[in-house]
Chain A
Amino acid sequence: MIGRIALVAFASVVVLFYLPFLALGYYITGGGELKMPSFSMVATTFLLAALTAVVSIAVAYPAAYYLAKRGSELEFALLTAPLWVGTLLKAYSLLVLFAIVERYTGVVLWGTAAGVLAGMVYEYLPYALLTLYAAIEKLSESPVNAARVLGASRLQAFLRVELPLTMPGVAAAFILVFLFAMGEVIMPAVLGAWKVYTFGSYVWDLYFKARDIFSGSVMSLILAALSLLATYIVVRTIRSISI
């Protein structure tokens, strides 16, 4: 009986989540004129996503290192709690912050790539942090101790022993954040004021403005395939860490 309930639930995951992708296939076979995204838009998306990943990792790494070594539960909870706040709320609160910053410093962030970058880093920082934390926590102390005994300074031991050992975690965090950032819609729309145009916004506009389901389906399938590939790589890297 309980096995049957579980199977029904599992079947609804497949029907509700995976079956709709077949509907995309249906619209693709229906044919139409494929509206390719412009090169500059794809380039902007890639660059923004890569930069978001690099900046989030750079900002999150020291905190993840501290958390894994000495962090308290409170610090961990405070750093990961923003995960539960919705993207739109974060975007809106940054919008207000940008208005205040502009007023006092004259630095314009709204409608610029820098503003969108700040928003995406704000959103994806907890993800980078959690992935890095998982990688750093798994490190054993002995390689560092060995390096220290052999005369390495603390900094040398970190740079030449610990950092290379956490590189798989860094790679996993990079791919994860890069992937999420590639499909991002809300931050570019709210903080970029539709001036910073990305792949996610393009898919959005194809459906809501151009009403072109055919091109939209092709684009979302490409995005979904990319994400599957990236997930596969992440899972592979994470598994290699534990071995």
Chain B
Amino acid sequence: MRPLRLYTWALIVALYVPIGLIVLLSFNNSKLPYVWGGFTLRWYEALFRWEQAWQAILNSVIIALAVSFTATFLGIFMAYILRKDKYLAVSQVAMVMPEVSEALAFAAALWLVKTYAGIDLFGPVGVFLAHLAYTLPMAHVLLTPYVAYVSRSVVEAARILGASELKAMFSVVMPILMPAFVATFLIVFANSFDTYIKTAFTTSPGFVTAPILLWNYAARGRGDPTIYALATFMLIPSLVAAAIYFRAVKRYS
């Protein structure tokens, strides 16, 4: 087991080297990635002055907040009521669908709405709906295992004591599921914040999110320290989500 343990740790290190490198380089006082010019914060200053980046990060945060709140809130109801395999299968299939197919289908639907109903949804609304389309099934699937921790007798006791169905849901079921709710909220937030493909297919040129801004540089293979700072910023939701997720989920074991 000893060599296997070393191997596992080597793999962990390898997984974090590329991400760590970006973070390190965002503090590098040199424009070249292979030259260490000392510690600096000037790329962050440049990022702070770059208005488009701020707008993009803000757009991403707003969309991700709206999406994760809606998806997780509705997801709890779905997970609590629709526990059967056949309902779950519908959501599971949605989770494994290839991203391009899904995004193109959504864009095609938006085109149809635009052509026949005359409503142009491309932009924030389209992005929100496209993100919701894949995060709702995700919240459903992620929350379902934890519903088993809500025992039937607790809910029944609340009902007998006079709570309405909805009241029992909000004051009994939801508090028990709170850690799972928080964990799922964070996963969905990080996911929506980082998603590029679905956003690209459904946005309008006027609505730029952080991944779109990053893509404009990444797809051309450009290295710019200000972009490293932007990428480091974009890592924050993922890392916070991962850290809190494992703590929240631990409560149930």
Q: Do these two chains really belong together in a complex?
A: yes
Instruction: Assess the A19–B109 pair: CB atoms within 8 A.
Output: yes
Contact A99/B34 with A1-B166, A27-B108, A90-B18 known, Cβ cut-off 8 Å: yes
> CA–CA, A69 to B8, complex, Å?
12
Q: Mark B160-192, 1 if CB is under 8 A from A, else 0.
A: 000011100100000000000000000100110
Listed residue (A16, A17, A190, A217) with the most chain B CB atoms within 10 angstroms of its CB: A17
Instruction: Assess the B214–A16 pair: CB atoms within 8 A.
Output: no
B100 interface contact, C-beta 8 A:
yes
Residues of B within 8 A of A88 (CB): 194, 196, 211, 214-215, 218
> CA–CA, A71 to B5, complex, Å?
8
Instruction: Assess the B104–A207 pair: CB atoms within 8 A.
Output: yes
Which one of A144-152, A159-167, A179-187 is at the B interface?
Answer: A179-187
Among the listed B11, B34, B77, B140, which residue makes an inter-chain contact with A100, where contact means beta carbons less than 8 Å apart? B34
A13 interface contact, C-beta 8 A:
yes
Residues of B within 8 A of A13 (CB): 78, 90-91, 94, 133, 136-137, 140
Residues of B within 8 A of A5 (CB): 74, 77
Instruction: Assess the A231–B21 pair: CB atoms within 8 A.
Output: no
B97 interface contact, C-beta 8 A:
yes
User: Closest Cβ of chain A: how far from B95's Cβ, in Å?
Assistant: 9
User: Closest Cβ of chain A: how far from B127's Cβ, in Å?
Assistant: 13
B122 interface contact, C-beta 8 A:
no
Instruction: Assess the B104–A217 pair: CB atoms within 8 A.
Output: yes
Instruction: Assess the A75–B246 pair: CB atoms within 8 A.
Output: no
Contact A223/B82 with A16-B132, A88-B214, A89-B194 known, Cβ cut-off 8 Å: no
Residues of A within 8 A of B136 (CB): 9, 12-13, 16-17
Instruction: Assess the A23–B109 pair: CB atoms within 8 A.
Output: yes
Instruction: Assess the A185–B93 pair: CB atoms within 8 A.
Output: no
Instruction: Assess the A17–B137 pair: CB atoms within 8 A.
Output: yes
Residues of B within 8 A of A217 (CB): 104-105, 108
Q: Mark B94-110, 1 if CB is under 8 A from A, else 0.
A: 10111111101111110
A residues engaging B (CB < 8 A)? 1-3, 5-10, 12-14, 16-24, 26-27, 59, 62-63, 65-67, 69-71, 73, 75, 77-79, 81-97, 99-100, 103-104, 110, 122, 125, 176, 179-180, 182-183, 185-186, 189-190, 193, 200, 203-204, 207-208, 213, 216-217, 220-221, 223-224, 227-228, 231
Q: A59-B11, A84-B241, A86-B195 are in contact. List 15 more A-B contacts (CB 8 A).
A: A9-B74, A17-B136, A26-B112, A71-B8, A73-B246, A73-B250, A84-B191, A88-B194, A89-B238, A180-B96, A183-B99, A190-B219, A200-B98, A220-B101, A224-B105
The 6 closest A-B pairs by CB, nearest first: A86-B194, A183-B98, A6-B81, A16-B133, A220-B101, A9-B74
